[in-house]
Structure 1
C-alpha cells in the first residue's frame, strides 16, 4: 500500500521544500490527497506557529498530533482571513477544527500483580493498527500491527521498537515480532530508510540503525532464512546511511558520512531539514536565540540530528557540555552509531552468505573490517582506556565517558584488551546503585546523569557478558531491575527513564514530563528477569 504522501510529488522534492518553514512552492498544484499528508508546519504554517508560540498546549507535540477535521488548506485560508478580527479566539478556532490526540494510557496493575503479569497486560494496550490513517493525519500508515512506547508517544519509534520486540519475544508473541520487522522493512521499501517514527514530521531523519538486530531476532525465531528475506532492505538502509560517501574528499562530510583526513570513512547523525522540530518548535526557536553567534539553521540542524541520535539531549553533543545552545551534533562522529553500522555490515555479509552470494559476503566483510580499524584508530582513547566520540571538525577526540562506550562490546568489534579496559572504566565511572548512568555530567538534560535508560542497560549487560565480564553485567542488570521493581511497587507503573543515583525515583530533565508505559522498559525488564530471575530481588539499590 502506497502512503498518500507520494501520489505524484517525489519524497526528495518534498524534503527539499521542507528546508523552508513555508509550504512547498508547488503547494497550490497539489491535489487534496497530497496536501493531506504534509507536516503541520507546511500544511498551515501561520496557524502552526501561532499555536506553538502561544503555548496553547503544555506539550508542543500535542498540536502536531492533533487531527484536522477538514482539508488543511481550508483551515489555513479561514485562519488567515479571521486571525486579525477583534473577536477571533485562537483556542476556540483550534477546538473547532482539530481533534486532540489523547495519551496512550496504561492501566494500573491488579493489586499484588507480579511485574511480568503487568507487562504482559500492557502489550495489547500499547498495540496499534493503522493500515489506513484518517484523512489529514500526521500519522503514516503501516501494513501490520505495532506497539507504541506509551504516554505522549502515540506512534512507532525506530530504535525503541527493537527493545520492545525483545520483550514481545520473551512474552511468547513471536507473531508480533515478525509483524513489526515487516513494518520496518515496509518503511525502507517505501521511503528508502526507516524514519524516526511513523509521523510525517519525522520523515527528514532516522534513528540509531537497529533494523539488523531486528532481523537477527527474527532469524533466532525462525532460522537463517530470515537473513536472506530481508537482505534487500538491509542493503537499502545501508545505502541511506552511506549516501554521499562516493567521491567525498578527506576532511569533508556529506549527509550522514564523514571522511577523515587519513581517508577513513565513518558516520554521523544528520537531518535533512534545518528548521525547528515541529514537535518541539518553541524550545528550538528559543535555543537558537541563545546561540547568538551561530546561524539559526545550523543550531536547528544540530538539534534535529541530536533527535536522530536518540540521545535528545546529552552533554555528548554540546560544545561546552552544559548549554543546549552549544549543540554541535553534526560535528561529532559517535561511537555507538558506527558500532551499529559495523553490525549492519556484518549482518549484510551474513545475509549474503545465506543466499550464496560470495562477492557480496566479501564486499561487506571488507567494509566492516575497514570500519573496525577506523573505530579503533579514531574512537579508542588509549590513555583513558575506553571508547569515545570524535570531533571531525576540530580533529580531536571528545574524552567524555558515556554509556555509548559499551557499543563496541555489544556489537563485538572490540579487542579483548580494549573490552577489558572499557569494562574497568565503566565499573569505576558509570556504575550506580540503580544500574549505569548515561554520562558523568549533570546538567538537566535527560540523557545525562543521574538518568539511566533501559536500552543502555541491556547494551551494557550483553556487551559485558560477551567479553566474559559476567559479574559486572549482573551487577548492572540486577541493580536496574531492582530500581524498576521499587518504582513499580511505589507507583504501579514502569517509566521511560530512571534516576539511578539511589533515590528510587523515575528520571527527570529534558523537554517533557516523565512518561509511563513504557515500551523499551517493559522489554528490557522481561529480558533481565529471564536472565537473572530471583537474583534480581536479592540486590538492593543501596549496594
Structure 2
C-alpha cells in the first residue's frame, strides 16, 4: 500500500543530499514547502512555462532531456521566482552550464516501473499484481511541483505517465472493479469529483500544465460504475459534479449565432448545438514544446497559434494524434481539430445529459429531469441529422465546410455504446465497421496508415471495449465476440513473449506492440489492464460457465 502522505523517495533523497552538501557551506537550504489538496486552486497551480519562462524555453530548446515531458515533471527545489532570477543572472556569465544549473535546482522524476510477472502467472493474475505498483497517493506535493495533489489514492497508466489521466481512468476502473478493488474505484471517482469542484472541470491529467483542457467526458460512466455497487445513491451524491462538468463543456453557448463556435460549443446552420474539442491556450504544449513548434513551422500559411490550438484540442480528444483531425494524412501541420464536430464527444455528452436527468429523477427534481432529458433528445436528433454518413455509418462533421468527414473510424461506434443509435443505423454501422475496420488483432482505429499513433496499424484497448459493449447492446454479439477475442489473443501473445501489457498494439497481424506518435511504446498499462480483465470475463477461458 503506498504511503498516503509521503513525498516520492527520490524527492526526499534529493533534499537530504542538498542538506549534506550544504553543511560545510553555512545554513542548510530549506526543503520546498508542501501544499495539500485542501489548499488547491487554479490560481495556485502555475505551469513551468509561466513560472520560469526563459529557463523553460532554454531547457526545451537545448534538448537537455530526450523527452520534453521530463523537465515539466521535474520538481523545483526552490521558489520558482528565485530560480528564475538566478538563471537570468547566471546565464550571462562565461562558461555557464545549463545542465549543471538544472541539476542544482531540480529533482528529476523517474518512470513508473512495473515488475515482470512471476513465473507461471497468467494474464489476469499478473494484472491484479500490477495494481499496487501503479497506485499513487499524494495528498500533499511540494509547493512548486507541476503535480496537483488529490485527496485519495489513484492508479496511473505507467511508464512516462506518472499522473492520473481522465479518460484512461474509466477503463482502468473497469479493471479495478473486476479485481474486486471497489474502494479504489470509489477513491478515483471522488478524486475526479474533487477536481471538478476545485478547477471547474476534470483536466487532461493532474498536472498544472494540463489544466487548460479536459479529455473525453467519461465521468458519468464512472458514476454508472459506482451505481452498480450502491444504486441511485451514487447519482444523487455526484449530481452537483455532473452538472458542473456539463456546464464546462457548454460554456459559451449563450448568444451563439448559426455557423459560429465558441470554446467547446458549435451552433450549426439549423440552430443545433453540438460540441468540439478545444483548449484555452494557443501556445505549444509544455510537454511537447519543440515538437509543436516544429509542426507549426511546417505550416507558414497558418497563424502559429491556430496550429497550436488544434494540436492542444487534439490532445484533449485523447486521439493525439490521428488522420481523423488532418486534411493531409501525412502532415500533422494540416490538423484542424477545432473545425470538427466529433461523433464520440457528442455521444458522450448525450450520455452525460441522460445521466444528469436520471440523477435529477432520483433526487425528485422534476424540472431538472425534464430539462436535461430534452437537451439529450435535441442532441440525439442533431447527431442523427448531421453526424450520419450516407455510406452507412456515424461520422465526424466538418462544421466550417458544412459536410461529414469522408472516413470511417472506431469512433463511429460511440452512438451504439451510449445507446442513442436507432436499431437500423446501428446495424448499418456494425456492417460498415466489420467490412472496413476488422483486423487480425481486433478493431482498427482508422483505415489510414499515417504514422500517427491513433491510426493504422494500432489498436487501442478503450476502443475495443466501446466496440464490444456497443455491438452487444444492439444484438451484434457475434461481431462483438470476434473483436474481443481477436484483441485478447493479441494481448496474450505480447504478454507471453515480453511479460508485459502495453499502451497500444499492432493489430495488423504482426503480433507486437504498437508504434508511431511522439514517444516510445509505454508499458504498464492502466487501460489495457482494465479492458483485458473485462474481456477475459466475457470471452476468456471458462467464460459463461
Using the TM superposition, give the Cα deviation of residue 319 of structure 1 relative to its aligned residue in structure 2, in angstroms: 1.6
Using the TM superposition, give the Cα deviation of residue 84 of structure 1 relative to its aligned residue in structure 2, in angstroms: 2.5
Distance 2:330 2:237 in 1: 45
Pick from 173, 176, 179: which aligns with 2:184? 176
Using the TM superposition, give the Cα deviation of residue 410 of structure 1 relative to its aligned residue in structure 2, in angstroms: 0.2
Distance 2:445 2:52 in 1: 38
On the 8 A contact 2:37/2:139 being kept in 1, the answer is no
Distance 2:291 2:526 in 1: 26
Pick from 438, 443, 467: which aligns with 2:445? 438
Pick from 144, 162, 167: which aligns with 1:154? 162
Equivalent in the alignment of 2:413:
406
Unaligned runs of 5+ in 2: 1-35
SS at match of 1:534: coil
Distance 1:111 1:85 in 2: 56
SS at match of 1:133: strand
The yes-or-no answer on 1:369 pairing with 2:380 is no
Q: Deviation string for 1:464-499 (max 9, x for gaps)?
A: 000000000001001000000000010010000000
The yes-or-no answer on 1:448 pairing with 2:455 is yes
TM-score by length of 1: 0.92
Pick from 173, 179, 198: which aligns with 2:206? 198
The yes-or-no answer on 1:258 pairing with 2:288 is no
Equivalent in the alignment of 2:280:
272
Pick from 290, 293, 304: which aligns with 1:285? 293
Q: Deviation string for 1:168-223 (max 9, x for gaps)?
A: 00000100000100000001111111000000000000000000000000001111
Equivalent in the alignment of 1:389:
396
Using the TM superposition, give the Cα deviation of residue 5 of structure 1 relative to its aligned residue in structure 2, in angstroms: 5.4
Distance 1:111 1:5 in 2: 44
Using the TM superposition, give the Cα deviation of residue 38 of structure 1 relative to its aligned residue in structure 2, in angstroms: 1.3
On the 8 A contact 1:139/1:200 being kept in 2, the answer is yes
On the 8 A contact 1:5/1:38 being kept in 2, the answer is no
Using the TM superposition, give the Cα deviation of residue 86 of structure 1 relative to its aligned residue in structure 2, in angstroms: 2.0
Equivalent in the alignment of 1:73:
81
Using the TM superposition, give the Cα deviation of residue 135 of structure 1 relative to its aligned residue in structure 2, in angstroms: 2.1
Q: Deviation string for 1:7-63 (max 9, x for gaps)?
A: xxxx4xx6xxxxxxxxxxxxxxxxxxx4xx410001111111111111111110000
Equivalent in the alignment of 1:309:
317
Equivalent in the alignment of 2:6:
none
Using the TM superposition, give the Cα deviation of residue 2 of structure 1 relative to its aligned residue in structure 2, in angstroms: 5.2
Equivalent in the alignment of 2:523:
516
On the 8 A contact 1:386/1:421 being kept in 2, the answer is yes
On the 8 A contact 1:38/1:138 being kept in 2, the answer is yes
Q: Deviation string for 1:101-158 (max 9, x for gaps)?
A: 0000010001121011110111000000011111210000110100000000000000
Worse-matched range after superposition: 108-117 or 449-458: 108-117
In the TM superposition, 1:18-167 aligns within 5 A as 34=44, 37-167=45-175
* Residues 470 and 432 of structure 1: CA distance in aligned 2, closer, same or farther (over 3 Å): same
On the 8 A contact 1:3/1:140 being kept in 2, the answer is no
On the 8 A contact 2:410/2:443 being kept in 1, the answer is yes
Runs of at least 4 residues off by over 2 Å? 1-6
Distance 1:418 1:261 in 2: 24
In the TM superposition, 1:454-533 aligns within 5 A as 454-533=461-540
Unaligned runs of 5+ in 1: 15-33, 537-543
Aligned length: 508
Distance 2:229 2:533 in 1: 17
Equivalent in the alignment of 2:8:
none
SS at match of 1:230: helix
Aligned alpha-carbon RMSD (Å):
1.0
Distance 1:534 1:137 in 2: 45
